[in-house]
Amino acid sequence: MEPNFLFNILSDPTRLRALMLIQAEGEACVCELTFALDESQPKISRHLALMREAGIVKSRREGTWMHYRINPSLPAWSREVIRHVFEQISGLSPFRGDAIQLKRMNNRPERICA
């Protein structure tokens, strides 16, 4: 992965916000991201598909839910960039609000599937 490609993908606010939630949670379901970001499922899924095709995230299906996590096969420098960006911006708006909103979600998949 080339640096300009990673930064181009992350330049979109919806993709960056989704990726920061995935980084925070370790894994996130599409329904969690739509709830936290207050966006439509098709919009979130489209952005996740772009990140999956780029190799930034990996997906897995569990029943009706699609879960996404940071691709562990990413080059170390890109995983470090994502981790560092998260550390620096997670307390800022809108990222902090996204995390708070996600915590308010009552029917998160891991609670149902556990």
Give one word for 79, left, alpha or beta, with left for phi > 0 and alpha for psi -120 to 50.
Answer: alpha
- Token pair 């960039």 is found at 81
Tell me the whole-structure pTM to 2 decimals: 0.91
Q: Which domains does the chain show, CATH number per domain?
A: 3-104 (1.10.10.10)
Helix (H) or strand (E) holding 1, with range, is none
What is the per-residue pLDDT across 68-98, written as a single tens digit (0 to 9) for each? 999 999 999 999 999 999 999 999 999 999 9
C-alpha 44/C-alpha 107 separation (Å) is 18
Contact 39, 72 (CB under 8 A): no
What is the per-residue pLDDT across 32-66, written as a single tens digit (0 to 9) for each? 999 999 999 999 999 999 999 999 999 999 888 89
C-alpha distance from residue 35 to each of 10, 39, 76 (Å)? 20, 7, 30
57-62 sheet: strands from edge to edge: 28-29, 65-70, 57-62
Q: What is the CA radius of gyration of the chain?
A: 13
8-state DSSP, 90:
T
